[in-house]
Structure 1
Amino acid sequence: MANNIIVEYEAVYEYDPEDHSHGAEFIAIRPGDCLHMNPVTAELKGSYEDPQNWLKGTNKTTGAHGYFPTDGYVKYIGVVQSVTSK
């Protein structure tokens, strides 16, 4: 059995990778953006509620996929999907 968990965050602070000379693997976030993260592929450090450094995920508002900052930039909303399959 495998779990497919999607964790949702809301962006609370703006981040633009171009302002920090970050590459194409980083995505922009704006306050209010809905961000989804799969812990299996996100390289999660810390906990769902208090992630550290960067997460790899999808900005559901813009459709962009890549790394976004966590510390002070996002707030935890909750687990929005948990599918168990064989």
Structure 2
Amino acid sequence: MSADSFQYRALYEYKRERGDDISLQPGDLLTVSKLAILTPDYQEGDEKTPTGWLHGTNERTKEKGDFPGTFVEYVGVVRVGLSAGKPWPRPVPPTPGGPQTPVGPQSPGACASGGCGLGDSPEQCTVPDQAPAVVLRLTEALERPGWENEPLYRTLLDSSAPIELQQALDTDPAAVECEQYDLAVLADTLRAYLQELPCPIIPSVLYSELVYTAQ
């Protein structure tokens, strides 16, 4: 599965501050999934002047992780595969020329709040067999052509629609025509489904996009 993504070029050197950061060298090309930028506060053109943390792939090193938007410039739109992500909040990113801290071991408290090692012990938790298929069907429906022109966040007139859709997906994901539902219904169903999973173990290649879409 692929999706439109944004590409950026590093303007300044950036050294990793946390375990999920990636380092930058001037000239590095970074690819960021479009879905990772679509927050409730997103406005058209925000991707061209990023000010917060971005999550993407350094095409030079092939590393995936977080980097500050103030260190890069917007290049354009590309079509690439989906990238992994870390959805938890981050502090305000540094500005070019500010102090930078070398990467060090994470404290137990930081791991507890930030989700270190998420998914490292799958034997402690099991998700339903059909979960990947359900998540994939909902995500593909959310990425349908023309989705930019549909409202994603609005009050549902029929509050039972997400419940009915989720029940149908639990029965036979492949038989459900998700494209017939509004984006708001699909997003609400995806959010509810992820929240009801016994543990947040989702394929890393989809994790960031799913969380940002469901928020």
TM-score, length of structure 1 as denominator length: 0.77
Q: Runs (4+) of structure 1 moved beyond 2 Å?
A: 41-46
Report deviation, 1:14. Answer: 0.3
Q: Deviations over 1:26-64 (max 9, x none)?
A: 000000001000021357666110112110000011111
1:38 aligns with 2:51: no
SS in 2 for 1:41: helix
Question: What amino acid is aligned across from residue 74 of structure 1 in structure 2?
Answer: V
More strand by percentage:
1
* Mapped contact 1:43–1:56 kept (Cα < 8 A): no
Q: What is aligned with 2:54?
A: 55
Aligned match of 1:23: 18
Distance 2:36 2:47 in 1: 13
Task: Return 5+ residue gaps in structure 1 as ranges.
Answer: none
1:63–1:43: structure 2 CA closer, same or farther, 3 Å change rule?
farther
Go from structure 1 to structure 2 and tell me whether the alpha carbon gap of 1:8 and 1:69 turns closer, same or farther (over 3 Å shift).
same
User: 2:38 and 2:54 mapped to 1: Cα distance?
Assistant: 6
Q: Point out where structure 2 has 5 or more consecutive residues left out of the alignment.
A: 81-142, 146-215
CA contact (8 A) 2:37 2:47 kept: no
1:65, 1:16 → 2: CA distance?
14
Partners of 1:4 and 1:81 lie apart in 2 by: 6
Rounded to whole Å, the distance in 1 between the matches of 2:8 and 2:38 is 15
CA distance in structure 2 between the aligned counterparts of 1:64 and 1:12, rounded to whole angstroms = 18
Identity %: 32
More helix by share: 2
- For the residues of structure 2 that align with 1:42 and 1:76, how far apart are their CA atoms? 13
Q: Number of aligned pairs? A: 80
Q: For residues 43 and 23 of structure 1, what CA distance do their matches in structure 2 show?
A: 24
Rounded Cα–Cα distance in structure 1 between residues aligned with 2:18 and 2:11? 22
TM-score normalised over the length of structure 2: 0.33
AA aligned to 1:63 is K
CA contact (8 A) 1:10 1:35 kept: yes
RMSD over equivalenced CA pairs, Å: 2.9
What is the SS of the residue equivalent to 1:48? helix
Residue 40 of structure 1 aligns to a residue in which SS?
A: helix
- Whichever residue aligns with residue 24 of structure 2, its letter is I
